[in-house]
Structure 1
Amino acid sequence: MATPSKNIDRRAKRTRQVLEEAFLAMLDEKGFTAMSIQEITERANVHRGTFYAHFADKYALLEAVIRERFRDALTSELPPIPQWEQNTLHLLIEATLEYFKGTYHQCSSLHIVDPLTEKVIREELATFLVIWLKQGKNAQMRWQLSVEMTAELMSWTILGAAIQWSQNSTTMTAEKMARHVVLMLLEGVTHLASSALPG
């Protein structure tokens, strides 16, 4: 038998899902700037108070949508239990490139402020990388920089490559660009912790 708390959690999750679906529908119809919270709640068939119980404003809702979609994009491309190794890093970067390219063009056409997308992607990348860098034998490594700082710098590098690749017309594939980024990152990581990345 489901407990009351589980039922509440399911209802809350379902409400968030309905709000996100309504938000995406309004995004296609009116664009981010023109849509209002009132229109989102009417489309979702919920009260404004319900909206504010989940999100502070429409920017918070946008951030949640971007974050969830990016996580889904990564987990769909990565192994079930990803490990810190060259191939997994390549998959992470290539998935980021592909996701950011699609999101950048969509957001630009809808006049959404790009820094929010960039912030979310960078934070999620840093989170993934910190977890990986603390796994297995890496947990025993003596890093010249903290794991958190290393992950932060790597996430900025990946994000910068994604921005450049998505904004500029190029014949370079995401796979090839990812290889270039991996090569650059591995050279840096090798100097920070010898043999940190088995390859």
Structure 2
Amino acid sequence: MDENALDLRVRRTRKLLQDALLNLMSKKSFQAITVQDIAAEAMINRSTFYDHFVDKYALMEYTVSQQFQEQLMNKLPDRNHYSAENLRALITTMWEYFGGLHGRCQHGDEQERMLFQSQVMNVVKRVLTNWLSEAPEASTGDQSACELAVAVMSWAMYGGAHYWSENKPQGTGEELAERLIPILNGIPHIQRLMERP
């Protein structure tokens, strides 16, 4: 079989599984959903499910990561560089995605939301790592400075979004970004990156 056709078939099957999972999660908790439920909803057999994912957790992680990454890539003005505009897009997309979890996980619990959020954080860390690889410290071999900046920024963004959801539930992602960007730009590593011509 042609490799492109195989790849298309894999993507189509994974999309069916993602849609099935999200549809089921709008009706009941993730914990109550079985692999058999997902396979039946996607109209495939269980062995096909296991050809793609080891369990429902792997499917959930893949689904969240893919959805958030697609949503983010559609909003970034320039995907490969650190800028205030890109940072604003990253923060607002994260806020919107976290806010949307309440709609997608109506029957979910805190553990379920944490699983979703950890996948979003993984994407955020990858994006920030890519952006910060341009920093002077990255070219001089001080990788720990970049890693620390990524950790601080991603957790600051997560903490800001969590605070915002509890204290400003009607607030927007743009408002959150306006408050967070000056804080994030105050990190010395980021200041040096922003000062570059």
TM-score for both structures, normalised by structure 2: 0.86
- Which whole-Å CA distance do the structure 2 matches of 1:141 and 1:182 have between them? 26
- Corresponding position: 1:196 with 2:193: yes
Bigger shift: residues 83-92 or 27-36? 27-36
- Which whole-Å CA distance do the structure 1 matches of 2:108 and 2:116 have between them? 13
Bigger shift: residues 156-165 or 75-84? 75-84
Matches within 5 A, 1:44-55: 44-55=42-53
- Corresponding position: 1:162 with 2:161: yes
TM-score for both structures, normalised by structure 1: 0.85
Q: What is the CA distance between 1:174 and its match in structure 2? A: 2.0
Structure 2 regions of 5+ residues with no counterpart?
none
CA RMSD of aligned residues (A): 2.5
- Which whole-Å CA distance do the structure 2 matches of 1:57 and 1:63 have between them? 10
Identity %: 29
- Corresponding position: 1:115 with 2:93: no
**AA paired with 1:7?**
A
Secondary structure at the counterpart of residue 196 of structure 1: helix
| Distance change in 2, residues 1:159/1:193 (3 Å) | closer
| Distance change in 2, residues 1:104/1:183 (3 Å) | farther
Deviation track 1:29-88 (CA, whole Å, cap 9, x = no partner) reads 333222221121112121111111111111111111111111122112112544211222
- Corresponding position: 1:79 with 2:77: yes
**AA paired with 1:61?**
L
Bigger shift: residues 30-39 or 163-172? 163-172
- Which whole-Å CA distance do the structure 2 matches of 1:193 and 1:83 have between them? 12
Matches within 5 A, 1:97-116: 97-104=95-102, 106-107=104-105, 109-111=107-109, 113-116=112-115
Aligned residues: 195
Q: Is the 8 A contact 2:20 2:41 kept in 1?
A: yes
Deviation track 1:91-131 (CA, whole Å, cap 9, x = no partner) reads 21122112112214543643362221121111111100010
